[in-house]
Amino acid sequence: MIEAPETAPVAVALDTADLETALGWAAAAGPHVRAVKVGLELYLRHGSDAVRKAREASGGRAVFLDLKLHDIPNTVAGAARAVAELAPDYLTVHASGGSAMIRAVVDELPATRVAGVTVLTSMSDADLDSVGIDGPADRAVLRLASLAVSAGARALVCSPHEVAAVRRAIGPDVTLITPGVRPVGADAADQSRVATPQQALADGADLLVVGRPITGARDPAAAAEALAGDLLGHRTG
């Protein structure tokens, strides 16, 4: 991973199945962000090539492999071994998969920050209730965050609405990754629990996942540069 001093604490979400498009976004945002996020859509279409080429196109930025693993411990251990050669900087697992499942991934990938996904940012309290998860969301997030860290996760994924409470509960040593951030005036789209990037950082987030505000912009490089300027406390030219 290469972390330039003037890059913003942002992982640009390469949410597309088209590799050429994703690599264009990675190249455009790479000079301004700290990580690129390869999710299910891109990984399932292109596999390891998506990870290797996104890392290269971005100039060697960290790779956030967002697979949200959730299965029995033996199966997720095998999945972790399958991606080990890619050396992802972050790999997501669903915290709701339980302690044994999380530990299985941690044991297989000691150099990777395994990130426990608490409650998806698209889910409201009503959504949680409909699938049988005891809410409200903030309480569910804290329970799952504690479980994941106890099982060895060194990162957590939570919405900006819960990040301050999670930071207070788990302390400074766990990386908090926050999707659902939207610059002022941006469309929330399918996200239910959102906040501005500045507020999320002030509340304790370490890495912000940003997709459409950058990748949906007419000029993704300019959008990434402007966001980085705002987050680093200055406007770039």
State the catalytic residues: 68
- Whole-angstrom distance, CA of residue 195 vs CA of residue 192: 10
Q: 4 — alpha (psi -120 to 50), left (phi > 0) or beta?
A: beta
Helix residue ranges, H only, the chain: 19-29, 40-46, 48-57, 73-83, 99-108, 125-130, 137-150, 163-170, 197-202, 212-215, 220-231
- Across the strands, what pairs with 195? 181
- Whole-angstrom distance, CA of residue 179 vs CA of residue 66: 12
Say which residues have a Cβ less than 8 Å from residue 97's Cβ, sequence separation at least 6. 69, 70, 71, 76
What's CA 55's distance to the chain center, in Å? Answer: 15
Say which residues have a Cβ less than 8 Å from residue 205's Cβ, sequence separation at least 6. 9, 160, 163, 176, 177, 178
- Whole-angstrom distance, CA of residue 34 vs CA of residue 5: 9
